[in-house]
Amino acid sequence: MKHIKYLKILLPILWSANIVTGVVPINLTTILLSSIIFGPLFCSFLCPFGFLSEAIYKIGRKIKLPELKINTKTDYYLKFIRYIILALTIAVSLPLILSILNYDPQANINILLQGNILSIIAIIVLILFLFVSLFSRKFYCKYLCFEGAKQSFVSIGRIFNITRTEHCVNCGICEKKCKTQVNILKKDIVTDPSCITCLDCIENCPEKNAISLKPSFSMKKIIIIVTCSLVLFGSIYINALGPEKVAIEEGMTEYSGTALGYKGNVDVSVIMQDDEIIQVYVESHNDDWSWFGRARQVADDIVTAQSTDVDTITSATYSSQGIINATKDALGEPFTEQVVTKRGHH
């Protein structure tokens, strides 16, 4: 375990470099699946914002700034906020919530790494939460992070848990070192979804083999895993549902186009017949389904108007503009690639 601290530096840097270069495609579904097995490893080993936030927190301790300590009871209730945000986003997609998430600092760090520009407000919010990190450890991550809430939600029944053994002497060092204020001494097996499997408790434990990461299986766990997975992945699937692609018949012609959406390229197929647009079909994209599900309406708008001169969708501006531009590309119409100038999400 002595090499873990180096992985916590190396992996976020490599992940950030990959966001910049795009060498390896990022599959968030795979990351969520890893959370079902090990817990939110993304939060502790990959997230660029989490890495930067932790580094700034340690600077605060080095220069001896006062630390904001949140008591256990307040911490418990504050942790529900991010799950409420998650539920409002994936269940009802309230425009107000989607608009607020335009300023999500965790997502906006990725946007900056991709070479895009943020709005002044988004930059101020990002700087504000990084500033808070000088005084409070993982404040945004624990209480407000939408992405972290997804990771923790599916990890409620995780297969591998932090586990105390008979060698534990209840010294409490593990809890003092915990980044997310998990009550490790409460049970032998830690089931708190706030645990991000950072392994700091194991790394700092003075007693050999007192704490370890172990697999455990039970019918209760299986039910929890299945239920949480169905809720989250089911909501993603429902948002992803769309019309089937029109079968190409005699007299029809298919054209392909590509343009930048929010998080990457949007690829569409435009099916024409006698100069009439029959369908604009989205082949692939990299944007979040909560937003892209709304943006896809613009494809129908293009068919109805028989023109790419249509309005973007509120709270899904960049995704819908990506569809419009990709359609223009397919039809050979001139367009200017958009630059993301604001957002956590749109």
Please give the pLDDT value at position 112: 84
Give the distance, in angstroms, between the CA of residue 55 and the centroid of all CA atoms in the same chain: 20
pLDDT, one tens digit per residue, over 260-302 is: 887 678 899 999 999 899 999 998 887 776 677 778 889 999 9
Please give the pLDDT value at position 130: 96
Please give the pLDDT value at position 294: 77
Average pLDDT for 234-262? 79
Partners of residue 273 on adjacent β-strands: 252, 276
Calculate the dihedral angle through the C-alpha atoms of 47, 51, 52, 55, rounding to the nearest 10 degrees: 170
- Name the average pLDDT for the chain: 85
What is the band of 226 on the pLDDT scale with cuts at 50, 70, 90?
Answer: confident
DSSP structure class, residue 106: H
Does the model's pTM come out above 0.85? no
Q: Minimal CA–CA distance to 317: which of 258, 243, 261, 270?
A: 261
Buried b (16+ CB within 10 A) or exposed e, 271-282: bbeeeebbbbbb
In order, the DSSP letters of 130-196 are HHHTTTSTTHHHHHT-HHHHHHHHHTTT-SEEEEE-TT-----HHHHH-TT---GGG-SB---TT--
Which residue is associated with the tokens 């531009």? Answer: 325
Average pLDDT for 306-333? 88
Partners of residue 253 on adjacent β-strands: 272
CB 118 within 8 A of CB 341: yes
Per-residue pLDDT for 336 more than 50? yes
DSSP structure class, residue 198: -
Phi-psi region of 251 (alpha: psi -120 to 50; beta: other; left: phi over 0): left
Please give the pLDDT value at position 163: 94
Per-residue pLDDT for 337 more than 80? no
Per-residue pLDDT for 149 more than 60? yes
Instruction: Give the range with max mean pLDDT: 21-25, 110-114, 124-128.
Output: 124-128
Average pLDDT for 28-39? 82
Please give the pLDDT value at position 240: 55
Per-residue pLDDT for 111 more than 90? no
pLDDT, one tens digit per residue, over 185-202 is: 988 999 999 999 999 999
CB 153 within 8 A of CB 83: yes
Between 310 and 113, the more confident residue is 310
Residues 6+ apart with CB under 8 A from 6: none
Q: Minimal CA–CA distance to 260: which of 286, 240, 280?
A: 286
Per-residue pLDDT for 241 more than 80? no
Please give the pLDDT value at position 286: 73
Using DSSP, state whether 237 is helix, strand or coil: helix
Average pLDDT for 228-245? 66
Per-residue pLDDT for 247 more than 60? yes
